[in-house]
């Protein structure tokens, strides 16, 4: 217990620095995953008998199965060694993380997250009343315009809590990128282990930091979800409008 408290109070700058980097990595990952997932979702939901539509449907299904069916650490190593062969990696640092190591990891994390977020977006779009698309088409809108201006804004609002939960998930799952030399929270713990030679206390401290991050963000997601649920209730919206008018 003494070693735990000593490490928790004496080496907190290392852990705080790693926690900051982990939040940044997870945030970039969830944004990239949302963009990728939305694209894959639209490709999978595309309807028609053209060859292009069939290719998009097939690609989206293969993409989801591949990234869901292989371990994240394998995807990270493939990206780490494979992506620099295709495109040059930028030099420099983001905060204190080398971009040469960080960029392939972010790409792999975003692609992996996109495979899960695609299904989230698909359920969010399907939750929007289908009559709204029909009404938009009746007033002369094209399907793409109706999707962009009417359906997607409502779908994004529907899936926002799920995206926030994906952010929490990425905070935990990105711990594996420390094996590739990215200075996240787990990497900071490895540094402290090297300095103190205390294995169990260091991992207990690491668990506490991960728990605090996930607990706080989960509570904020819960508050956001409650607020969105209140706004969806017609009675509350009408009362809100009357209050504003008054």
For the domain spanning 2-245, the CATH number is 1.10.3720.10
Average pLDDT over residues 200-219: 92
Confidence of residue 105 (pLDDT cuts 50, 70, 90): very high
pTM reported for the whole predicted model: 0.85
Of residues 116 and 236, more confidently modeled: 116
The residue length of the chain stands at: 246
Token readout for 242 is: 């009357």
Mean pLDDT of 170-187: 90
Of 125, 147, 123, 115, residue with least CA distance to 36: 115
Instruction: Specify the pLDDT at position 133.
Output: 79
pLDDT at 136: 81
Average pLDDT rounded to a whole number, residues 57-75:
93
- The SS3 call for residue 233 is coil
Q: At 127, is the pLDDT very low, low, confident or very high (cuts 50, 70, 90)?
A: confident
- pLDDT exceeding 70 applies to what percent of the chain? 93
Q: Cα dist. 237→152, 161, 230, 242 in Å? A: 21, 20, 8, 9
Distances in Å between the Cα of 59 and the Cα atoms of 75, 76, 79, 117 are 18, 21, 19, 16
Q: Quick one: pLDDT band at residue 48, thresholds 50, 70, 90?
A: confident
Per-residue b or e along 192-205, where b marks 16 or more CB atoms closer than 10 Å to that residue's CB: bbeeeebeebbeeb
Report the distance separating Cα 180 and Cα 113, nearest Å: 19
Q: Percentage of the chain with pLDDT > 90?
A: 46
How far is C-alpha 147 from the chain's CA centre?
A: 23
pLDDT of 138 above 70 = yes
User: 179: how many CB neighbours lie within 10 A of its CB?
Assistant: 14
- Distance from C-alpha of 17 to C-alpha of 22, rounded to nearest angstrom: 9
> From CA 85, how far away is CA 233, in angstroms rounded?
52
> Can you tell me the distance from the alpha carbon of 10 to that of 244, in angstroms, rounded to the nearest whole number?
52
Structure tokens at 112: 């992996």
Determine the average pLDDT of the residues in 115-139: 85
pLDDT at 239: 32
């Amino acid at each position: 217990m003494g070693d735990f408290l000593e490490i928790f109070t004496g080496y907190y700058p290392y852990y705080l620095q790693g926690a900051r980097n982990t939040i940044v990595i997870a945030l970039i990952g969830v944004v990239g995953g949302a963009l990728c997932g939305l694209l894959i979702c639209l490709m999978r939901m595309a309807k028609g008998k053209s060859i292009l539509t069939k290719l998009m449907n097939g690609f989206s299904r293969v993409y989801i199965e591949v990234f869901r069916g292989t371990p994240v650490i394998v995807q990270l190593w493939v990206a780490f060694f494979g992506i620099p062969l295709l495109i040059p990696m930028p030099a420099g640092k983001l905060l204190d993380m080398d971009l040469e190591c960080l960029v392939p990891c972010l790409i792999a994390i975003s692609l992996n997250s996109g495979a899960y977020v695609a299904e989230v977006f698909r359920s969010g779009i399907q939750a929007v009343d289908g009559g709204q698309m029909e009404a938009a088409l009746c007033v002369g809108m094209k399907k793409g315009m109706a999707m962009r201006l009417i359906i997607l804004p409502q779908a994004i609002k529907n899936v926002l809590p799920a995206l926030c939960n994906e952010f929490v998930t990425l905070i935990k799952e990105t711990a594996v990128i420390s094996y590739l030399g990215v200075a996240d929270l787990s990497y900071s713990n490895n540094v402290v282990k090297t300095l103190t030679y205390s294995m169990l206390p260091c991992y207990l401290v690491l668990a506490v930091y991960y728990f605090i991050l996930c607990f706080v963000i989960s509570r904020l997601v819960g508050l956001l979800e409650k607020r969105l649920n209140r706004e969806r209730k017609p009675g509350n919206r009408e009362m809100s409008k009357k209050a504003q008018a008054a």
